[in-house]
Amino acid sequence: MNKESLRWKGLWCDLGSGPISFPVVVFIFIGFFELILIGGNVASTANDVEAAARQAAREATLAPDQIAATGLLAAVVDGALENRKHQCQPSTAEMTDGTQFVPGGWVVVSVSCTVAFADLGQVPFPGTLKIERDAIAPIDRYRFVGSGPEAGSADTEIRP
């Protein structure tokens, strides 16, 4: 029997497909590994943004008034996110609930930033991801909140 008659009967296998399928399998494996790497870096970046939001909220509770607290937010968030491997640009921070800026109240800070997928992995994928996190910090009940002539005086009465 010759090769052509065996091929028509289904007994002849084509041995040339191995060199073609190996690079395809390697490419799929590398792509899967890259998706795992990007997923881990997205989780790490989200944790860093959440930590920056917590830090900004805590710093805002130490400010004497709401205007000073709002002015602190951008500097605190930029300082918390500046020395990262994956750049989170542009980052924005804002107080989302300023009505509770009183002793015993709280501060709600929202931080958002945009990360490029090309920065998260080894292969430069197109696109960006917006990460937003909120943090809430309580304002101490036994401290003076506000500004005015009584803010710096020694005889200021501190009330709960």
What's the pLDDT tens digit per position in 29-75? 988 998 898 888 889 889 999 999 999 999 988 888 888 888 888 88
Domain assignments of the chain as residue spans, ordered by start: 17-138
For residue 137, what are the CA distances in angstroms to 22, 63, 70, 73, 154? Answer: 55, 12, 14, 13, 27
Label residues 3-23 b or e (16+ Cβ within 10 Å = b). Answer: eeeeeeeeeeeeeeeeeeeee
The whole-number pLDDT of residue 15 equals: 58
Is the pLDDT score of 153 beyond 50? no
What pLDDT is recorded for position 1? 55
What pLDDT is recorded for position 141?
Answer: 83
Rg (CA), the chain: 29
pTM above 0.85, yes or no: no
pLDDT, tens only, 80-125: 888 777 777 777 888 876 667 888 888 899 999 888 888 777 777 7
